[in-house]
Amino acid sequence: MATYKLQSSACGRVPRRTFLADLGMGFTGLALGAMLHRDGIANEAATWSPPNGFPQIAPKAKSVIWLFMIGGVSHLESFDPKPALNKYAGMSMAATPYKGVLDKKFLDDNIRTAAPDQRKILSKLYPLQVGYSRRGLSGAEVSDWWPHVGGCVDDLAIVRSMWTNDIDHGAQLQFHTGRNRLDGFFPTIGSWVHYGLCTLNENLPQFVVMGNPIADCCGGQEAHRANYLGPEHDAVPLVADPQNPLAYGRAPLGVFREEQEAEFEMLERLDRLALAEYPDDSKALARIKSYELAFRMQRAIPEVFEFNQETNATQKLYGLDAAATAPFAKHCLAARRMVERGVRFVQIYHGGTGNAGGWDAHSALHANHSANCAAVDKPIAGLIRDLKQRGLLDETLVVWATEFGRSPGTEGADGRDHHPFGFSMWMAGGGIKGGVVHGATDELGFSAVENRHYVTDIHATVLHQLGLDSRRLEIPGRKRLEMEHGHVIRDIIA
């Protein structure tokens, strides 16, 4: 009886307020339908259908672990060392044999930022702040600040020719959506994966985010949200703490599981009543799905973070036994345990500080990067090695990235500025070639000059390895720009 009263008014009539609202929407819909038909969008919608959750092409990977360093890691002191910086240290770029690196075709035409006058080209060259050496059988040059990841270089495909068009920290959001911060908010790479593929584990979320996130100044939570795809495709934030891994994820003390289950059922019934009246309410759909998932996650999520189930050798492999590495090690070990259980996309931040980011070394670069590298190098290498020894690396794509590099020229006495014109990232596993270096910057590490790749080429490659085609993920009324789709980097695919 209670359900009947909620669904209709007295005498079975439609409530006056609902009738007037639907009537107005009807007239609006007639006019809108005519306009959409004229523009061809209505025809597109009539033939369009959403993804069925299965790969569109043969997949080579099942899951992604996306490691993002916030603030801008220096490519020069990580995966693209340039000995010319030591040779010509203190000199102006124009005074070196490589003055042509300032060719404008790679500079002004590509920059879009809210404060274009705040960033100037710093021409006085700053020497490398750490040594480097050739690593592995491939002989790829890697900074001495990355000895553990350098030891895994034969499993990596290093891309040294990345570029983006935001010279400020809006590039953090841009790396995740493919669109400049000035354009607004758009679905992120993890959300597109969530949208395109079905779950592999009904008790765990498909898209998870861990670590201190990007600050509001630079995109904030929108770096792991779905925007127009709907909130059900947002990432679920988790904390690497078995006692409290998910906000409000545990039942209140004194509440039995059966009581909570009844509460969720009541909430679902109320939401479905609203949904029957407004079937296109994406927020109501998301609420229903989140309640259902939340109830199942209460048991499954804490178990993911029970690191005491791992051997001492595994815990040491990640660096859980050392104060400097333990925080990030927990995230990396949790990521392995998640993909092992079927989580599709695990996004991990490092360097979230509530502002520009912990890697933003405008000064004291040596102290900044040596400490940050020491915090993440061993956990990341441990992740790669652990996935490999368990046979999971073949089906798990690991991505390491940052928003841009840092300038060859010095800022102040001992720092480097933001540098979007050429920088590095790498991938491992998931059908990617190991021991390869793709693309190149010039001799000073200023611009990407060989096999240049905008950030969405990474997105296209990730989607391709998972069996998805970005161009088949568009939805009616939301035409995506070519730059959003990117191009698969086929040279690094095994």
Of 68, 65, 8, which Cα lies nearest the Cα of 357? 68
Strand, coil or helix: what is 127? coil
The answer to whether the beta carbons of residues 404 and 448 sit under 8 Å apart is: no
The residue-averaged pLDDT of 280-307 equals 74
For residue 62, CA distances in Å to 5, 346, 370, 381 come to 47, 12, 34, 20
pLDDT tens-digit series, residues 447-467? 999 999 999 999 999 999 999
| Mean local confidence (pLDDT), 418-439 | 97
Which is nearest to 381 in space by CA: 152, 131, 185, 128? Answer: 152
pLDDT at 267 over 90: no
Question: Tens of pLDDT along 171-186?
Answer: 999 999 999 999 999 9
Query: What is the enclosing helix (H) or strand (E) of 175?
Result: helix 171-177
Among the residue ranges 73-87, 128-142, 225-239, 271-285, the one predicted with the least confidence is 271-285
Beta bridge partner(s), residue 483 = none
7 versus 365: the higher-pLDDT residue is 365
DSSP characters over 202-254: TTS-SEEEESS---GGGTGGGGG--GGG-GGGSPEE--S-TTSSSTT-SPPTT
What's the pLDDT score for residue 118? 57
Residues of the chain with pLDDT > 70: what percent?
79
pLDDT at residue 2 tops 70: no
**Phi, psi (5° rounding) for residue 39?**
-85, 0
27 or 269: which leads in pLDDT: 269
